[in-house]
């Protein structure tokens, strides 16, 4: 399969791969390895007044195809410094166009979206406790 330059760059470098720990970190995951796509995000929030908390760091782990890994890496990298929000930086369709993801893989991007939303919810819960 041919991959776009953007997909190849984020897949090959995946600088945001890994895990985070600490009392301001929320973790969320979606999908399953058995199903062929599993994504996890860790989000660390800056110590600031709620609800304007910004993302201090974000990491991901994934068991997935190169497109999904590239998108997860892009989401985690792009999130740093942004206000913590449940939605992805762009719609799933915009991201699929940006990374030239084939239509049959759109469901995998929904798994990325679900994992991100779960991590945001967990991070916000951690800081309100």
34-73 pLDDT, tens digit per residue, is 999 999 999 999 887 666 789 999 999 999 999 999 999 9
pLDDT band with cut points at 50, 70 and 90 for residue 85? confident
pTM of the model: 0.93
List domains and CATH numbers for the chain.
5-128 (3.90.1010.10)
Can you point out the beta strands (E) in 1-129? 25-32, 37-45, 55-63
Q: Which among 96, 126, 108, 88 is positioned nearest to 35, based on CA atoms? A: 108
State the pLDDT at residue 86. Answer: 85
Query: Residue 129: pLDDT above 60?
Result: no
CA distances from 32 to 17, 18, 98, 115 (A): 18, 18, 25, 11
Give tens-digit pLDDT for 6-32: 999 999 999 999 999 998 899 999 999
């Amino acid at each position: 399969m041919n991959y776009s330059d953007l997909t190849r760059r984020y897949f090959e470098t995946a600088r945001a791969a890994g895990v985070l720990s600490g009392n301001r970190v929320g973790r969320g995951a979606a999908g399953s390895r058995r199903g062929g796509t599993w994504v996890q995000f860790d989000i660390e929030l800056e110590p600031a007044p709620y609800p304007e908390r910004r993302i201090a760091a974000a990491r991901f782990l994934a068991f997935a195809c190169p497109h999904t890994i590239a998108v997860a890496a892009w989401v985690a990298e792009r999130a740093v410094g942004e206000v913590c929000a449940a939605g992805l930086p762009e719609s799933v369709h915009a991201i699929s166009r940006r990374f030239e993801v084939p239509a049959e893989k759109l469901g995998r991007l929904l798994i990325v979206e679900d994992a991100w939303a779960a991590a945001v919810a967990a991070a916000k819960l951690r800081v309100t406790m």
